[in-house]
Amino acid sequence: MAQIAELGAAFLCADLALTPEPGEDHAAYIQSWLKVLKNDKRAILSAAAHAQRAADYLKGLQPVIEENEGKQEVAAQAAAFRRQAGRGNHGTAQHHMARD
């Protein structure tokens, strides 16, 4: 059922803060939804439930970074950036700001 895939994609985009763009066949796709909903008023509920399970499954496949590990990684990246900036590296934001 295409509605499950579409809803699942929408759920994942929302979780990832992505804004999907409608395709060229968007109007025809909406028409197909309307036909399904006219024949089965509960189709949207069933499709949404299946889509949520699929989205949860896909999210479960992603590696989990524990909060402390994530904080340590960000701190290490920030320290590396500060060291690089302190060497007068021409690719740093400080150098670009000084030039402008």
Q: How many domains does the chain have?
A: 2
Structural domain harbouring 16: 2-60
Judgement on whether residues 16 and 56 belong to the same structural domain of the protein? yes
Judgement on whether residues 47 and 77 belong to the same structural domain of the protein? no
Judgement on whether residues 43 and 17 belong to the same structural domain of the protein? yes
Q: How far is CA 31 from the centre of its chain?
A: 27
Tell me the per-residue pLDDT of 16-38, one tens digit each, with 9 for 90 and over.
888 888 778 777 878 888 888 89
Judgement on whether residues 47 and 91 belong to the same structural domain of the protein? no
> Which two structure tokens, joined as six digits, stand for 62?
């992603």
Q: How far is CA 75 from the centre of its chain?
A: 24
Judgement on whether residues 26 and 50 belong to the same structural domain of the protein? yes
Most confident option among 8-22, 37-51, 52-66: 37-51
What is this structure's pTM?
0.55
Helix 2-15 and helix 26-39, axial crossing angle in degrees, nearest 10:
120
Choose the weakest-confidence range: 8-12, 52-56, 87-91: 87-91
